[in-house]
Chain A
Amino acid sequence: MAFDWLFFLEVLIAGLLSGAMYSLVALGFVLIFKASGVFNFAQGAMVLLAALTFVRLVEMGAPLWLAGVSTLMVMVVLAMLVERLVLRQLVNQAPIILFMASIGLNFFIEGTAQGVWDSDVHALDLGVPDLPIDVFGMLISQFDIFAAAMVAALVVVLAVFFQKTRIGRALRAVADDHQAALSVGIPLQTIWVVVWSVAGVVALVAGLVWGSKLGVQFSISLVALKALPVLILGGFTSVPGAIIGGLIIGAGEKLAEVFIGPFVGGAIESWFPYMLAMVFLLFRPQGLFGEKIIERV
């Protein structure tokens, strides 16, 4: 039997498109890690919070734009609370302590989001149906294309924000050197709030995309776990790394599921990305874009 290249391509593209969404969540991680040194496990819970807030507001009759703006405000308030109640209290703590605090934050947000709203499954309709369309003989989901376009747009907006605005430049400085950032004249606290807010925006976009695909429910917070292998591939501090890593993981897991899965019992999507990332790390511990660092002593 000849290898069905068209089918292969179809799977590959579907994988890349869903990978774009992994990129999105990973992007939130990278932003926060760069600016506040926190490996933010709560990114997934933030996605859930944003999606749930949005969908409940829409269900209550708010127009999409109002729901969007209100959700954004919720995310900014969250950022301020996190800065005040968590980050500020834990300055100069070891990264692992910050990481564990973010696990605590994760549960806090999950509990609050579901407690305030509810834990049912909500359908979210952004007006783009998840129907396949025919592209050069391949069947590709219309919604996936739309989602990928949103991701791309967001990346462009973020790039402009980081390059062109004063606070954006301060943000980049803070990632390299906290002292340098201070000399820009923007207090670290403000920078943290802004970064966590931006990560909130990213979470909202991710939540909308995932939510309308899978329904808004608790399980979308688990998307964050999928972003972890992406980060390993791309490196914790590299924005292009997050994007390319996401695409690789997305494509890799779909291809593996379709072409290897049937031979080993299926559903290998659950662990394949982690194994892929782990094996990759063994050969290149610094990640795709990281530089090899020799520890200074």
Chain B
Amino acid sequence: MFYREAGQFKASYAADQSIFPIAQDRFGVLVILAVAFVFVPLVANEYWLRSILTPFLIFSLAALGLNILTGYAGQLSLGTAGFMAVGAFAAYNLQIRIPEIPFILDFVLAGLIAAAVGILFGLPSLRIKGFYLAVATLAAQFFLEWLFTRVGWFTNYSSSGVITAPPMVMFGFEFSGAQSRYLLTLSIVAVLALAAKNMVRSEIGRAWMAVRDMDVAAEVIGIRLLHTKLLAFAVSSFYCGIAGALWAYVYLGTVEPQAFDIFRSFEILFMIIIGGLGSILGSFLGAAFIVLLPIVLNNVSSIFAGGTLSAHTLSHLELVIFGSLIIFFLIVEPAGLARLWQIAKEKFRLWPFPY
């Protein structure tokens, strides 16, 4: 199987603009989907499905959301986890207050509520840019965290401040096993990833990138800046909101506002830096990286240090490695893992004659 585009001439612009113009890519994506939907649930054990793959998918979704806002539209946000919290608490409140709504619809509504909150906190982007805006998103982060901690209504006056997600039932089927939950998450993430890919290769995606690259010029070609930025905030928060709802319902089951603190926001920011700003694929690669790193680290340390390292030391080591990697990536390849993959592909495309 060679990775070649020679001989694949595009006969129409439609073909040239299709989502994966090169046949091997198209094929590759289908294979990945098939593996993810069929093979993985068959072979992966409960631990992998529940504790690694499901959170990986949810993180990917949040990273996608942040990447739309920061990577594509260029609006730096430090409030991602705040918008995830909105999704989680909205889904919870919808479900316990209006139990008639099917939970899938709850998720969508939760996403929409998160989008509305995103728009609200995106409003300052009309007047402020860059770091100033980043600080404004911190306002969202801390305010939302406070809101869900302090205002009892949101947790249905639970004394511990913890909410427990009701069971997810659809057509009489309860999503309780690791397998069904994984598949549910995978389906949602796959659909939303496809939608994101479509948006970024359409007019709206170009408008976002135009605003990111040069806002004055963008306005001169007719882009309404506020409208475009707010749409980025809305779509981004929609994705993050659904990720938050999944985090609460599918992954944790019980959740407190502190699960969505500022460090979670940073974690997701790291994913898109490492994976690649402005790349859909990068969101997945970055999420995989950050989910897997602690596990790899743990295993490596138990092999070399024979389990003598304390949990504390390990977590500090993790910080040091994260920090170094971020700097390393910014220096060596600011475009992240996705770019490395692309370079590898280009090499492969020319192989074995590199000239």
Given A232-B135, A236-B131, A282-B124, the answer on whether A103 and B326 have CB atoms closer than 8 Å is: yes
List residues of B (307-331) whose CB comes within 8 Å of A's CBs.
312-313, 316-327, 330-331
By a CB distance below 8 angstroms, the chain B residues around A295 are 216
B151 at interface (Cβ–Cβ under 8 A)? yes
How many whole Å from A41's CB to the nearest CB in chain B? 10
List residues of B (323-355) whose CB comes within 8 Å of A's CBs.
323-327, 330-331, 334
Task: Give A277 to B131 CA distance when docked, in angstroms.
Answer: 13
Task: Give A278 to B123 CA distance when docked, in angstroms.
Answer: 10
B139 at interface (Cβ–Cβ under 8 A)? yes
Given A89-B331, A271-B146, A282-B127, the answer on whether A228 and B323 have CB atoms closer than 8 Å is: no
How many whole Å from A267's CB to the nearest CB in chain B? 6
Is there contact, CB below 8 Å, between A111 and B127?
Answer: no
Out of B130, B138, B270, name the residue touching A96 (CB < 8 Å): B130
Is there contact, CB below 8 Å, between A104 and B330?
Answer: yes
Task: Give A208 to B274 CA distance when docked, in angstroms.
Answer: 35
A112 at interface (Cβ–Cβ under 8 A)? yes
Is there contact, CB below 8 Å, between A277 and B139?
Answer: yes
A127 at interface (Cβ–Cβ under 8 A)? no
Task: Give A272 to B78 CA distance when docked, in angstroms.
Answer: 17
Is there contact, CB below 8 Å, between A270 and B145?
Answer: yes
List residues of A (88-116) whose CB comes within 8 Å of B's CBs.
89-90, 93, 95-97, 99-101, 103-112, 114-115
Is there contact, CB below 8 Å, between B124 and A228?
Answer: no
The B interface, classified by DSSP as helix, strand, loop or mixed, is helix
Task: Give A118 to B151 CA distance when docked, in angstroms.
Answer: 36
A173 at interface (Cβ–Cβ under 8 A)? no
B136 at interface (Cβ–Cβ under 8 A)? yes
- Contact bitstring B229-260, A, C-beta under 8 A = 1, else 0: 00000000000000000000000000000000
Given A103-B269, A107-B322, the answer on whether A115 and B127 have CB atoms closer than 8 Å is: no
Is there contact, CB below 8 Å, between B124 and A95?
Answer: no
The A interface, classified by DSSP as helix, strand, loop or mixed, is helix
By a CB distance below 8 angstroms, the chain B residues around A192 are none
By a CB distance below 8 angstroms, the chain B residues around A85 are 327
Out of A90, A108, A231, name the residue touching B324 (CB < 8 Å): A108
Is there contact, CB below 8 Å, between A232 and B132?
Answer: yes
By a CB distance below 8 angstroms, the chain B residues around A214 are none
Chain A interface residue number, banded: 35 or more
Task: Give A282 to B125 CA distance when docked, in angstroms.
Answer: 9
Is there contact, CB below 8 Å, between A278 and B317?
Answer: no
Is there contact, CB below 8 Å, between A281 and B323?
Answer: no
A240 at interface (Cβ–Cβ under 8 A)? no
Is there contact, CB below 8 Å, between A107 and B331?
Answer: no
Is there contact, CB below 8 Å, between B138 and A225?
Answer: yes
Question: Which of B's residues lie within 8 Å of A, judged by CB?
Answer: 76, 124, 127-128, 130-132, 134-136, 138-139, 142-143, 145-146, 149-151, 216-217, 262, 266, 269-270, 273, 312-313, 316-327, 330-331, 334
Question: Which of A's residues lie within 8 Å of B, judged by CB?
Answer: 39, 85-86, 89-90, 93, 95-97, 99-101, 103-112, 114-115, 118-119, 225, 228-229, 231-232, 236, 264-268, 270-271, 274-275, 277-278, 281-282, 285, 295, 297
Q: Which 4 A-B pairs have the closest CB atoms?
A: A111-B319, A104-B326, A108-B323, A274-B139
- Provide a sorted-by-A list of 14 A–B residue pairs whose CB atoms are within 8 angstroms: A96-B76, A96-B130, A101-B331, A105-B323, A107-B320, A114-B319, A119-B316, A225-B262, A267-B146, A275-B139, A275-B143, A278-B124, A281-B128, A285-B132
With A108-B324, A111-B320, A115-B316 known, 8 other A-B pairs at CB within 8 A are A97-B330, A104-B322, A107-B326, A108-B322, A112-B316, A114-B319, A225-B262, A228-B135
